[in-house]
Amino acid sequence: MIGASAAVVCLGAALAACGGGGRGEGYVATGVIGGAPQASGTAAAPTGGVTLVPLDGSPAKGGSPAPGGSSDGVPETAVPTPPDAVPSVGGTKSGRTAPDSPLPTSTPSRTAPTGPAALTWGDPVRKATDKRWCEDVGLGFSNSGGTAVRSGSVTFGTHIIGALGIDWGTVVSTVGLPAPIGAGARKEKTWTVCVDAWRVPLGMHIETRDVTVQWK
């Protein structure tokens, strides 16, 4: 402001010195019209419209930059940091959260059976056929021992049942065991068991209820 005022005063002095208005020498008014005269050499306040220009020669752009903005008036955009970022090795930050590592699980091992063969079987599963003196009989065998069953036999006891439910007798028959049956293995087999046809007159039927197994 002081520098600009001084420049205006100097320009006014030069114009006054050149256009004296017919007088022998120029002069400069240093006071307000009608007011008290001021001593020569005192700086006068500028009159009229005055345009202020910054010293670097570039016009101002809307005043001072806003807080957080750049020097050319464009606001700077802050880059947000992810809230779940975790620091990594070396002081940098990672945008991913490290997941929890699952604990290793152990797989239970199966113990192989040991010792000699140990054979077991269930109840017979019976199914009627188109002949009243025959029926299908199924058995399941399990070897829980450590040695395979190499051979054996199965003996069935077939009962002859009358029309009124009376057990008239039992007929025995023998079949081969479905060997070999390995250690820890299970095997199933179905046989068709029959008795003499004359033993089962019309109105009677058979039921294979008894099972005996021999094996080695």
Closest CA to 122 of 175, 190, 207, 170: 190
Tell me whether residue 198 is exposed, middle or buried, using C-beta atoms within 10 angstroms of its C-beta: 0 to 12, 13 to 18, 19 or more. Answer: exposed
Closest CA to 183 of 113, 110, 121: 113
118's tokens? 């140990």
Does the predicted model carry a pTM greater than 0.75?
Answer: no
- Sole residue written with tokens 């005192």: 42
Distance (Å, whole) CA 43 – CA 38: 10
Q: Radius of gyration (Cα) for the chain, nearest Å?
A: 61
Indicate left, alpha or beta for 115 from its phi (over 0: left) and psi (-120 to 50: alpha).
left
Per-residue pLDDT of the chain (216 residues; tens, 9 = 90+): 444 444 444 444 444 444 444 444 444 444 545 555 554 444 555 555 556 556 655 554 444 444 444 445 545 555 555 555 445 444 444 445 445 555 555 555 566 678 899 999 999 999 999 999 999 999 999 999 999 999 999 999 999 999 999 999 999 999 999 999 999 999 999 999 999 999 999 999 999 999 999 999
Query: Which residues fall within 8 angstroms of residue 200, CB to CB, at 6 or more apart?
Result: 132, 133, 160, 206
Distance (Å, whole) CA 39 – CA 29: 10
Query: Which residues fall within 8 angstroms of residue 102, CB to CB, at 6 or more apart?
Result: none
Element (H, E) at 213: strand 205-215
Contacts 24+ apart (CB under 8 A), 161-168: 161/204, 161/205, 161/206, 161/207, 162/203, 162/204, 163/203, 163/204, 168/204
The answer to whether 129 and 122 are in contact (CB under 8 A) is no
